[in-house]
């Protein structure tokens, strides 16, 4: 029985020997025109390479000396390199995913299932033979044979194989979220009886393998539109190049086919053509590295377009527990006495509220009280629905904290001065007041607050600059919701929300043409997850939720939506920037090739040779070499994606237009000149 290494999954670099080696081999395999036809731009380069190679061989056969044919040979070689570089870009982008898929696949094949037969006996069958509805038993140390629901038993399960998180999680039946288990994870304590919920080939692991491997990758809407633009431009350049021959003929001399092919390859957008699919694959891969599985590239792209983000308050914006934020003494009790009583009432309290009281005492400088309190033979009374209080009896003296009315009733007295006002104030601000009682004296209040996660406010400000509206969803009453919304800095909120309200909100936003993203984990989130343009299901969530969403976050971190949006934007930006760069590059190439092509007919055109390239041959060769090398040079950028800064569309555009537009015009002038110096230095031309 295989046991999966319990370790946080590493984020492997793509530049490891194994992945690079595989990518190099793949670049050769991808030369097959049957694969390459999907990328018409690079296919044209390959045809050009083939044509120049044939011409070179023909010339050699006709007795042309090696010395004279040297130029043709070099052009042909560099054209082949251009194709190989483009193939390599795609292969390396796929590399990491393929390596991960291999690891996951091992998990799948080695699993044995212990199926419970109808007569109650257990048989061992390969995991691949399980069908929906089968019942299995999984013991401690065994692999989960498939996706399923726990129907019996309580156990800890290590999900590192899927999530990379080594801390085991508790699984038990009947709870919406904790009852779902995933094939490939390991039971590390006790045993579970599960009902299989997915047929082989449809399991989460299968989907995950297909996704990280990129087998299910389809072109996204923007990619399709961009491809049309690039194909159109390629066709225009084909017209330009083909008509140049008659124009040259009119002018007195034909241009050699090799030069025409070189010109065509330089003009068509090979840079973006070679990198386009790598950018898309790398975008998906970046998500996988952050433990998010996107079910389609379309979802990643949609993430960049999100206008409205629906966020559950609990767990996303706040910690989900109400934490002590303030001690308010009343009736002249004095702060030290109140704190001491509150600490005593909370020392044995394991709830987050109880712990937060101690934390607050420390923060407010009463550390000594917390550390010196001696409980002796204290008897702890935990919180109960009837009493609505918790606390201790030490030597007959009871110290309690609890709901204000419950504490007042227990004290038997009237509310001390200020208590009612203060507790109303706290409720008004959306908080919860806890009264503290020592004996029969009510000493004051603890202000329990729904505490906003640190840094969340800044992230929302960031979203606002990105142009994204954040809406908080909560079951709280409007007053509480408003307070938290204001503190967290969300743009809007939906209070007392029921699951169907979420759905309605999404529909309303979408009717206005907005794209909506949300996270969810429960079965009742499923319809909304399906309706949202980007629905991120938590991995801890139910099967229904995971199937409804178009992304699954293996870390089950709802704030990750914000990163997902960033990755989506980065993907689109990288495409746009490299397209701009690619097209802007052409200007310099004209200045290199045109004077060279017409050097004999119109020597005057040497005035256009602004780079002062040494000879016509070296000019054309340098342009072709630049054109090939720039693909390789940009592979890291394509894989990494260009930096996204939430500075608003205007400044962002100005920045990128300057770098990739203007830069795209200037860089090749410098690059081609530099290559020309080298080409002449080592006498290639």
Partner 1 sequence: MTPQDIGYLAFYVIVLVALAKPLGLYMTAVYEGRRTWLHPVMGPVERGIYRVSGIRADSEQDWKRYTLAILAFSLAGLGLLYAILRLQGYLPLNPEGLEGLKPSLAFNTSVSFITNTNWQAYGGETTLSYFSQMVGLTFQNFVSAAAGMAVLVALIRGLARHSANTVGNFWVDLTRSVLYILLPLSLVVAVFLISQGVIQNFSSYKEVTTLEGTKQLFALGPAASQIAIKQLGTNGGGFFNVNSAHPFENPTAWSNLVEMLAILLIPAGLVYMYGKMVGSTRHGWVVLGVMTAFLIVGAVVSNVAEQSGNPSVEDLGITSSAGSGQPGGNMEGKETRFGIGQSTLWATTTTLASNGSVNSMHDSYTPIGGLVPLANIQTSEIIFGGVGSGMYGMALYILLAVFVAGLMVGRTPEYLGKKIEAREIKAAMVALLSFSLVLLGFAAIGSVNAFGTDTLNNGGPHGFSEILYAFSSGAGNNGSAFAGLGANTTFYNLGIGICMLVGRFLFIVPVMVIAGTMVQKKRVAPGPGTFPTDGLLFGGLLAGVIVVVGLLTFFPALSLGPIVEHLAMRDGTLF
Instruction: Point out the residues that are catalytic.
Output: 312
**Rule CB under 8 A: is residue 610 a binding residue for partner 1?**
no
Q: Distance between CA atoms of 158 and 4, rounded to whole angstroms?
A: 9
Structural contact between residues 624 and 265, judged by C-beta atoms closer than 8 angstroms: yes
CB of 230 to partner 1, least distance (A): 10
Structural contact between residues 650 and 103, judged by C-beta atoms closer than 8 angstroms: no
User: Pick from 55, 345, 577, 623: which binds partner 1 (CB under 8 A)?
Assistant: 577
Binding mask 298-337 for partner 1 (x = CB under 8 A): ---x--xx-x------------------------------
**Rule CB under 8 A: is residue 652 a binding residue for partner 1?**
yes
- Tally the residues of the chain: 685
Kindly identify the residues of this chain, within the stretch 583-602, that bind partner 1 according to CB under 8 A. Answer: 583-584, 586-587, 590, 594, 598, 602
**Rule CB under 8 A: is residue 228 a binding residue for partner 1?**
yes
| Piece of 101-109, 183-191, 446-454, 511-519 that binds partner 1 (CB under 8 A) | 511-519
Which of 252/439 has CB closer to partner 1? 252
Which of 127/283 has CB closer to partner 1? 283
Kindly identify the residues of this chain, within the stretch 378-397, that bind partner 1 according to CB under 8 A. Answer: none
Burial of 224 (0-12, 13-18, 19+ CB in 10 A): exposed
Q: Give the DSSP letter of residue 313.
A: I
CB of 249 to partner 1, least distance (A): 5
User: Pick from 465, 522, 563, 599: which binds partner 1 (CB under 8 A)?
Assistant: 465
Which of 392/463 has CB closer to partner 1? 463
| Angle, helix 560-597 to helix 616-640, in steps of 10 degrees | 180
User: Pick from 657, 663, 666, 684: which binds partner 1 (CB under 8 A)?
Assistant: 657
CB of 487 to partner 1, least distance (A): 23
| Piece of 346-354, 365-373, 467-475, 532-540 that binds partner 1 (CB under 8 A) | 467-475
| Piece of 49-57, 65-73, 209-217, 221-229 that binds partner 1 (CB under 8 A) | 221-229
User: Pick from 30, 401, 449, 575: which binds partner 1 (CB under 8 A)?
Assistant: 575
User: Pick from 100, 277, 451, 579: which binds partner 1 (CB under 8 A)?
Assistant: 579
Strand pairing of 379-381 and 292-294? unpaired
Kindly identify the residues of this chain, within the stretch 535-574, that bind partner 1 according to CB under 8 A. Answer: 568-570, 572-573
Question: What are the CA-CA distances from residue 521 to residues 356, 525, 543, 564 (Å)?
Answer: 27, 6, 9, 17
Rg for the chain, CA atoms, rounded:
34
684 closest CA partner among 605, 606, 612, 625: 625
User: Pick from 74, 222, 451, 550: which binds partner 1 (CB under 8 A)?
Assistant: 222
Binding mask 618-647 for partner 1 (x = CB under 8 A): --------------------------x---
CB of 72 to partner 1, least distance (A): 22
Kindly identify the residues of this chain, within the stretch 265-304, that bind partner 1 according to CB under 8 A. Answer: 267, 301, 304
Burial of 428 (0-12, 13-18, 19+ CB in 10 A): exposed
460 closest CA partner among 551, 561, 535, 569: 561
| Piece of 195-203, 232-240, 493-501, 532-540 that binds partner 1 (CB under 8 A) | 232-240
Question: What are the CA-CA distances from residue 37 to residues 40, 52, 88, 364, 619 (Å)?
Answer: 5, 19, 16, 69, 30
Phi and psi of 337, rounded to 5°? -70, -40
Q: Distance between CA atoms of 169 and 159, rounded to whole angstroms?
A: 8
C-alpha of 108 from chain center: 25
User: Pick from 5, 363, 461, 654: which binds partner 1 (CB under 8 A)?
Assistant: 654
Q: Distance between CA atoms of 104 and 212, rounded to whole angstroms?
A: 10
CB of 641 to partner 1, least distance (A): 10
Long-range contacts of 454-461 (CB under 8 A, 24+ apart): 456/317, 456/488, 456/489, 456/559, 457/487, 457/488, 457/489, 459/559, 459/562, 460/488, 460/489, 460/490, 460/491, 461/489
| Piece of 121-129, 510-518, 626-634, 667-675 that binds partner 1 (CB under 8 A) | 510-518
Q: Distance between CA atoms of 602 and 267, rounded to whole angstroms?
A: 22
Binding mask 34-63 for partner 1 (x = CB under 8 A): ------------------------------
CB of 226 to partner 1, least distance (A): 7
């Amino acid at each position: 029985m295989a046991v999966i290494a319990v370790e946080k999954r590493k984020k492997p670099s793509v530049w490891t020997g194994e992945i690079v080696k595989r990518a190099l081999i793949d670049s050769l395999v991808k030369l097959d025109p049957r694969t390459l036809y999907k990328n018409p731009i690079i296919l044209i380069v390959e045809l050009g390479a083939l044509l120049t190679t044939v011409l070179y061989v023909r010339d050699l056969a006709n007795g042309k000396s090696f010395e004279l044919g040297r130029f043709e040979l070099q052009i042909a070689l560099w054209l082949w390199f251009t194709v190989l570089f483009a193939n390599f870009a795609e292969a390396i982008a796929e590399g990491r995913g393929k390596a991960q898929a291999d690891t996951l696949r091992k998990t799948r094949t080695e699993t044995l299932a212990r199926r419970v037969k109808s007569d109650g006996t257990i048989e061992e069958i390969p995991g691949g033979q399980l069908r929906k509805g089968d019942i299995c038993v999984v013991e401690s140390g065994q692999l989960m044979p498939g996706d399923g629901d726990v129907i019996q038993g309580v156990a800890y399960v290590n999900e590192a194989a899927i999530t990379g998180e080594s801390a085991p999680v508790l699984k038990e039946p009947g709870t919406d979220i904790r009852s779902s288990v995933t094939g490939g994870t390991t039971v590390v304590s006790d045993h579970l009886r599960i009902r299989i919920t997915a047929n082989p080939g449809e399991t989460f692991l299968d989907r995950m393998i297909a996704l990280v491997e990129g087998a299910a990758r389809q072109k996204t809407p923007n990619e399709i539109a961009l491809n049309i633009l690039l194909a159109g431009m390629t066709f225009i350049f084909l017209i330009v190049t083909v008509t140049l021959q008659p124009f040259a003929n009119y002018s007195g001399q034909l241009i050699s086919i090799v030069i025409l092919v070189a010109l065509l390859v330089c003009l068509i957008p090979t840079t973006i053509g070679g990198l386009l699919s790598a950018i898309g694959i790398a975008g998906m891969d970046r998500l996988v590295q952050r433990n998010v599985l996107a079910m389609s590239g379309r979802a990643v792209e949609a993430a960049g377009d999100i206008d409205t983000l629906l966020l559950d308050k609990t767990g996303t914006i706040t910690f989900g527990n109400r934490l002590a934020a303030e001690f308010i003494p009343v009736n002249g009790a004095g702060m030290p006495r109140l704190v001491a009583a509150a600490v005593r009432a909370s020392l044995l309290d394991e709830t987050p509220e109880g712990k937060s009281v101690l934390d607050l005492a420390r923060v407010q400088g009463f550390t000594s009280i917390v550390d010196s309190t001696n409980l002796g033979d204290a008897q702890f009374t935990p919180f109960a629905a009837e009493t609505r209080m918790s606390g201790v009896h030490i030597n007959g003296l009871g110290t309690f904290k609890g709901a204000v009315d419950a504490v007042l009733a227990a004290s038997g007295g009237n509310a001390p001065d200020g208590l009612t006002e203060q507790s109303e104030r706290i409720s008004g601000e959306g908080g919860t007041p806890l009264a503290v009682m020592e004996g029969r004296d009510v000493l004051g209040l603890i202000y329990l607050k729904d505490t906003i996660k640190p840094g969340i406010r800044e992230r929302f400000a960031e979203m606002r600059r990105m142009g994204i509206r954040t809406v908080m969803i909560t079951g709280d009453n409007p007053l509480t919701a408003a307070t938290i919304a204001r503190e967290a800095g969300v743009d809007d909120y939906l209070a007392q929300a029921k699951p169907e309200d979420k759905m309605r909100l999404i529909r309303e936003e979408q009717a206005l043409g907005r794209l909506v993203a949300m996270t969810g984990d429960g079965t009742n989130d499923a319809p909304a997850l399906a309706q949202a343009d980007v629905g991120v299901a938590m991995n801890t969530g139910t099967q229904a939720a995971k199937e409804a969403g178009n992304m699954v976050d293996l870390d089950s971190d709802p704030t990750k939506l914000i990163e997902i949006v960033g990755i989506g934007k980065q993907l689109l930006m990288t495409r746009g920037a490299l397209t701009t760069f690619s097209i802007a590059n052409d200007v310099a190439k004209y200045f290199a090739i045109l004077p060279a092509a017409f050097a004999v007919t119109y020597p005057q055109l040497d005035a256009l040779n602004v780079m002062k390239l040494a000879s016509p041959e070296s000019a054309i060769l340098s342009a072709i070499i630049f054109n090939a090398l720039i693909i390789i040079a940009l592979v890291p950028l394509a894989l990494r994606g260009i930096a996204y800064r939430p500075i608003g569309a205007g400044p962002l555009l100005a920045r990128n237009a300057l770098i990739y537009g203007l830069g795209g015009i200037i860089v090749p002038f410098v690059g081609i000149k530099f290559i020309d110096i080298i080409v002449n230095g080592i006498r290639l031309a």
